[in-house]
């Protein structure tokens, strides 16, 4: 069985650093030969250079279509450095005998912290405060009615998706004196839920009673636009939406209308339906909205964890074991 693993990405400083981190892990655990292939090459060249690979890490590359993968007879694993795998046709790849695995929660802590930071930023208008100071107007530029400024004490935080990230949001809010509820299609065991400290409720109850709704679900056919007109109409006029998973989980046009119509108060979002965000998108300029540029994962610890998990998983496959953290297709 092959022991070749390929990092497929664009050449540059970031790729060099990531390759070095991955090589260090590979050297430590053994059993894997690591290779870099430039994703900007012609598809025929990529296929040739990856033909003996048992695992590929698509570091931002989007070329691993079923047609390309069908030409890689040794491939058994596509291992992402990210939590998201929505750009891969998982069902078709599985039919070809190739598993797709995510990063095993490598960036879960960073994203959970970012979600909480967005909760605070929207509730305290930190973006407005920072902009006012940078503009030289000190507090004179800080606008908004006093009723729009809040702490998290006694607020109900509704977590949709209590997986690796959602559960860490809950654990980190344990000392913030707020009430935690969650909804998930997965039935977690009692010990897991107790450790998270959240109470399970229906999605309708979560939406209609929560002061903050925070999304932590993968993007697939079942979650695309899972929040739209109907859901925003259910939410409290004083509520805030937090989205750090994928932009298309939310119907963005409906979100804009909900904020403009005061169906909800505002939003803190790290992801949008089109990225980079389009120049005419009103969200960054709307009151009570904080937008960050899909960098919730940006933390050195996330990078180290991702390299460790990716190489370890590829080594498992090279050694004849089943991979961890595989993503099941939605058919």
Q: What are the catalytic residues?
A: 246, 275, 294
For the stretch 183-211, what's the b/e string if a residue is b when 16 or more beta carbons lie within 10 angstroms of its beta carbon? bbeeebeeeebeebebeebebeebbbbbb
- The two tokens of residue 315 are 């080594």
φ/ψ of 179, rounded to 5, equals -95, 130
φ/ψ of 222, rounded to 5, equals -90, -20
| Cα separation of the two ends of the chain | 30
Strand order in the sheet with 99-101: 33-38, 4-9, 53-59, 77-79, 99-101
Residues 6 or more apart in contact with residue 29 via CB below 8 angstroms: 311, 312, 315
Supply angle C-alpha 226, 228, 232, rounded to 5: 115
Beta bridge partners of 279: none
Sequence length of the chain is 331
* Of the candidates 246, 243, 184, 233, the residue with the CA atom closest to the CA atom of residue 212: 243
Q: What span, in angstroms and rounded, lies between the C-alpha atoms of 250 and 207? A: 14
The number of angstroms, rounded, from the C-alpha of 119 to the middle of its chain's C-alpha atoms is: 16
* Of the candidates 249, 196, 260, 204, the residue with the CA atom closest to the CA atom of residue 224: 249
Measured CA to CA in angstroms, residue 309 lies from 104, 291, 305, 312 at distances of: 7, 29, 6, 5
């Amino acid at each position: 069985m092959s022991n070749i693993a390929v990092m497929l990405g664009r050449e540059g400083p970031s790729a060099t650093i990531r390759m070095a981190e991955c090589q260090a892990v590979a050297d430590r655990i053994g059993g894997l030969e690591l290779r870099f292939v430039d994703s900007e090459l012609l598809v025929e060249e990529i296929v040739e250079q990856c033909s003996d690979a048992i695992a590929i890490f698509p570091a931002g590359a989007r070329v691993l279509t079923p047609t390309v993968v069908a030409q890689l007879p040794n491939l058994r694993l596509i291992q992402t450095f990210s939590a998201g795998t929505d750009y891969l046709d998982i069902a078709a790849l599985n039919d070809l005998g190739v598993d797709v695995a995510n990063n095993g929660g490598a960036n879960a802590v960073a994203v959970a912290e970012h979600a909480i930071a967005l909760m605070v930023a929207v509730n305290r208008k930190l973006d407005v405060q920072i902009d006012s100071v940078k503009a030289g107007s000190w507090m004179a530029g800080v606008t908004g009615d006093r009723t729009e400024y809040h702490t998290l004490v006694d607020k109900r935080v509704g977590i949709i998706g209590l997986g690796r990230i959602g559960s860490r949001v809950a654990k980190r809010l344990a000392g913030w004196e707020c009430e935690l509820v969650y909804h998930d299609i997965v039935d977690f065991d009692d010990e897991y839920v107790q450790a998270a400290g959240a109470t399970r409720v229906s999605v309708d109850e979560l939406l209609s009673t929560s002061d903050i709704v925070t999304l932590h679900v993968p993007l697939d056919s079942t979650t695309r636009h899972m929040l739209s007109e109907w859901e925003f109409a259910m939410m409290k006029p004083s509520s805030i939406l937090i989205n750090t998973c994928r932009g298309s989980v939310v119907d963005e046009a409906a979100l804009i209308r909900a904020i403009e119509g005061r169906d909800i108060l505002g939003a803190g979002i790290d992801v949008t339906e089109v990225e980079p965000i389009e120049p005419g998108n009103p969200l960054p300029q709307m009151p009570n909205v904080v937008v960050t540029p899909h960098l919730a994962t940006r933390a050195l610890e996330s990078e180290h964890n991702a390299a460790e998990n990716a190489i370890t998983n590829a080594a498992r496959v090279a050694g004849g074991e089943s991979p961890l953290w595989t993503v099941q297709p939605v058919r």
